[in-house]
């Protein structure tokens, strides 16, 4: 089968380059999003509460006209000079001073009646235009395409300017709501009304355009919001339990603003009672320090390791850091060391990849194929820490020595006992220049991983003095003799506690990432979602690939029962697979490259075939000679929610008894306190 291989864009070695570009995306035709029964009920509750007590404060003073503002220029002392970024925005500062003029406009969160005055919707083109003043914010749930038409705005640390392409933004109930913030603009010489009128002409009818022009001032930003329907969103919404994924969770229902021009586009604004991303001062300082280090004249590239306990905001911090760096450089390198909460792949993977697009949503919204990946096969490395470390070392060796792009390392939330020793090993064996450690409160969750602490600390593979277990790697990449340690205090609500609302548990988020990966099996064209059982699988001969189980021991006679209807890693062994007429079984777990995943939906013993569903390109599949089964299982909804079935549901049976010894899956209750910890809580 001859397939045209897609061209890949190679990253350039230039450290900082101009990344501002006018990119285009194909227009997406989408109908209005239907309201769910839950949202209909919320609308009624909202209307009742609105009658009881108005929530909109009126301006006491009449706002100045646009002409009045044009007559008076802000004083030079009130304007803060900015250093230009390669993304076309100013130097990254989170504590910017505002100009002397306030324009007599209410700043802060856009909500309530203000949204009716600042936003206009064109039903014919099915989009909305929103005018925002400097430092105004829009916090929302939902999903949409965002285009900056005038001025500039910031989302999760990434600056979006006029002339740039549209970006997809996702704000699901599984994570903290996204916030769009209007930034300061330095174009005081512009005729704001004339230019904005020409821009709005393409997007709004005359009546709506006239209303918005009255709101546009010198420091205004104008954004375009369009509904978004992709194979990912269609596939996720086909499951009943995920139908409210992009709606406000139960604790935000009364804070949702449900009667604005934005709601029909899939965007639900939230009032100021709901916090967006909350950054402490140490959070801001660490971001500024990291970005300054990457922009400075370091000997080589900055290698930043982020660590901390579970649920302290490491992943969010890394997304903001990567987005901020993308304001200055075209790419950022990333090493995944967190098996349970991976950013770009399904759980259980260690990977290294280059990030070129901003991360404007949680992990399941930007599943990507890494340049290098190893399938570990479990959400914890506790059972085999040596294989975990060897896998990360193997990935690091694949990084080109001449790379000068910033490098971010994500780590697990396991920071006690052996987990702390693994962190010590990683800092020693990798040429880390900065360690950013997140914590909360006044209690010590983990020792400060300073250079002084590492001089006496013991790791799993390394011991003081710091003689690394990877000399050939560290010598070739020239590790610094010391590194900077930055402490970040997380102060958001619910810090260090796992979310209890729907979609917020860690296992649910792993399920979302895996479903997002499987959504790549769907057609990119709009249409009905095709269930997995209706897709045509590849036929793979038993003798062509080796089969292995990497998370537990399985007797050879039960191997096919274990892998049937399971997720398998598609891997490439260095040695050639040879068969003596039957299936090839691996005796132990290998450390080898993984190119993707597939669903092994059937085994034909008579013909000696595996039936495999995978989104991996056929040209890449030719290199695969190994299928690895791990502890990452397919979501139950894949089996139970299969539409258009006739007869019995495949892989699901009711003729089963859990009363038999060994019939059920063995589960370990990890919440059980150890004897040494009893009575301490």
| Mean pLDDT value across residues 142-149 | 96
| Mean pLDDT value across residues 194-206 | 90
Can you tell me whether residue 504 is helix, strand or coil? Answer: coil
Number of C-beta neighbours around residue 112 at 10 A:
18
pLDDT in tens, 21-56: 444 444 433 333 344 554 545 445 544 554 444 443
pLDDT in tens, 637-661: 998 887 676 777 778 777 777 676 6
Cβ distance 337 to 407 under 8 Å?
no
CA distances 627 to 250, 504, 559, 599, 621, Å, are 42, 31, 12, 10, 11
The backbone region for 132, taken as left when phi is positive above 0, alpha when psi lies in -120 to 50, beta otherwise, is beta
In this structure, what DSSP letter does residue 97 have?
A: P
Residue 83 has pLDDT above 80, yes or no: no
Nearest to 375 by CA among 527, 598, 211: 598
Q: Could you give the domains of the chain?
A: 113-269 (no CATH), 281-462+481-489 (3.40.50.300), 531-641 (2.40.30.330)
201-227: b (≥16 Cβ within 10 Å) or e: eebbeeebbebbbebbbbbbbbbbbbb
Residue 668 has pLDDT above 60, yes or no: no
Q: Over the chain, what is the mean pLDDT?
A: 81
Q: Is the pTM of this model over 0.85?
A: no
Q: What is the pLDDT, as a whole number, of residue 551? A: 86
Alpha carbons within 13 angstroms on the beta-carbon side of residue 607 total: 9
Can you tell me whether residue 187 is helix, strand or coil? Answer: coil
Residue 487 has pLDDT above 80, yes or no: yes
φ and ψ at residue 303, rounded to 5 degrees: -115, 110
Order of strands, edge to edge, in the sheet holding 538-541? 538-541, 609-613, 594-604, 566-571, 626-629, 546-549, 584-585
Determine the Cα angle at 592 with ends 586 and 597, to 5°. 85
Number of C-beta neighbours around residue 53 at 10 A:
6
pLDDT in tens, 413-445: 999 999 999 999 999 999 999 999 999 887 778
By CB neighbour count within 10 A (0-12 exposed, 13-18 middle, 19+ buried), where does 296 fall? exposed
pLDDT in tens, 573-621: 998 888 777 788 998 889 999 999 999 999 999 999 999 999 999 999 9
Cβ distance 561 to 536 under 8 Å?
no
Separation of alpha carbons 403 and 399, rounded Å: 8
| Mean pLDDT value across residues 342-348 | 97
Q: What is the pLDDT, as a whole number, of residue 192? A: 64
Nearest to 354 by CA among 376, 327, 335, 373: 335
Cβ distance 137 to 109 under 8 Å?
yes
More reliable by pLDDT, 361 or 676: 361
pLDDT in tens, 349-405: 999 999 999 999 999 999 999 999 999 999 999 989 999 999 999 999 999 887 889
pLDDT in tens, 296-336: 756 668 999 999 999 899 999 999 999 999 999 999 999 99
Separation of alpha carbons 487 and 448, rounded Å: 8
Cβ distance 464 to 456 under 8 Å?
yes
The token pair at 292 is 């300054």
Residue 125 has pLDDT above 60, yes or no: yes
Number of C-beta neighbours around residue 477 at 10 A:
18
């Amino acid at each position: 089968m001859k397939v045209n291989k897609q061209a890949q864009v190679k990253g350039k070695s230039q450290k900082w380059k101009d990344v501002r570009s006018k990119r285009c995306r194909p227009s997406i035709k989408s109908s209005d999003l239907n309201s769910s029964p839950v949202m209909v009920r919320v609308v009624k509750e909202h209307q009742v509460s609105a009658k009881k007590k108005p929530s909109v404060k009126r301006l006491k003073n009449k706002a100045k006209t646009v002409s009045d503002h044009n007559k008076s220029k802000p004083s030079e002392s009130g304007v803060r000079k900015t250093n230009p970024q390669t993304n076309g925005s100013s130097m990254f500062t989170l504590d910017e001073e505002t100009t002397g003029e306030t324009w007599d406009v209410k700043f802060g969160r856009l909500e309530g009646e203000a949204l009716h005055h600042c936003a206009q919707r064109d039903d014919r083109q099915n989009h909305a235009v929103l005018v925002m003043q400097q430092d105004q914010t829009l916090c929302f749930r939902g999903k949409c395409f965002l285009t900056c038409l005038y001025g500039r705005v910031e989302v999760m640390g990434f600056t979006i300017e006029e002339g740039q392409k549209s970006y997809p933004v996702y704000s699901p109930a599984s994570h903290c709501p996204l916030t769009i913030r209007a930034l300061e603009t330095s174009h005081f010489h512009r005729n704001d009304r004339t230019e904005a009128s020409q821009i709005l002409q393409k997007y709004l009818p005359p009546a709506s355009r006239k209303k918005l022009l009255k709101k546009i001032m010198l420091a205004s930003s104008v954004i375009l919001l369009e509904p978004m329907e992709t194979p990912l969103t269609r596939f996720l919404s086909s499951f009943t339990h995920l139908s409210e994924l992009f709606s406000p969770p139960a604790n935000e229902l009364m804070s949702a603003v449900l009667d604005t021009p934005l709601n029909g586009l899939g965007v639900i604004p939230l009032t100021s009672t709901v916090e967006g991303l909350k950054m402490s001062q140490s959070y801001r300082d660490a971001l500024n320090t990291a970005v300054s280090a990457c922009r400075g004249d370091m000997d080589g590239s900055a290698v930043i390791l982020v660590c901390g306990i579970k649920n302290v905001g490491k992943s969010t911090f890394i997304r903001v850091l990567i987005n901020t760096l993308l304001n200055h450089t075209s790419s950022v390198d990333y090493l995944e060391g967190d098996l349970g909460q991976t950013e770009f792949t399904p759980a259980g993977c260690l990977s290294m990849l280059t990030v070129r697009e901003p991360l404007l949503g949680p992990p399941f919204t930007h599943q990507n194929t890494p340049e290098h990946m190893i399938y570990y096969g479990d959400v914890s490395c506790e059972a085999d820490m040596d294989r975990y470390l060897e896998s990360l070392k193997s990935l690091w060796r694949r990084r080109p020595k001449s790379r000068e792009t910033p490098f971010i390392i994500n780590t697990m939330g396991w920071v006690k006992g052996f987990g702390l020793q693994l962190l010590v090993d990683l800092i020693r064996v990798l040429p880390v220049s900065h360690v950013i450690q997140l914590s909360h409160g006044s209690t010590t969750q983990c020792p400060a991983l300073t250079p002084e602490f590492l001089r006496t600390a013991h790791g799993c593979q390394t011991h003081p003095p710091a003689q690394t277990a990877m000399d050939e790697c560290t010598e070739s990449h020239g590790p610094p003799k010391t590194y900077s340690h930055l402490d970040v205090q997380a102060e958001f609500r619910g810090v260090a506690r796992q979310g209890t609302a729907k979609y917020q548990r860690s296992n649910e988020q792993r399920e979302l990432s895996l479903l997002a990966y499987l959504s790549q099996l769907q057609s990119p064209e709009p249409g009905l979602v095709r269930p997995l059982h209706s897709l045509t699988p590849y036929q793979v001969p038993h003798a062509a690939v080796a089969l292995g189980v990497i998370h537990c021991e399985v007797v050879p006679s039960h191997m096919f029962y274990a892998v049937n209807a399971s997720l398998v890693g598609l891997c490439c062994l260095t040695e050639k697979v040879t068969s003596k007429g039957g299936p090839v079984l691996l005796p132990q777990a290998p450390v080898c490259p993984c190119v993707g995943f597939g669903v092994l939906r059937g085994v034909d013993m008579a013909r000696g075939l595996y039936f495999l569903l995978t989104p991996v390109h056929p040209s890449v599949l030719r290199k695969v000679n190994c299928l690895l089964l791990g502890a990452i299982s397919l979501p139950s909804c894949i089996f139970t929610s299969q539409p258009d079935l006739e007869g019995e549901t495949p892989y699901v049976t009711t003729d089963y008894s859990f009363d038999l010894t060994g019939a059920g899956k063995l589960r370990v209750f990890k919440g059980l306190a150890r004897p040494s910890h009893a009575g301490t809580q």
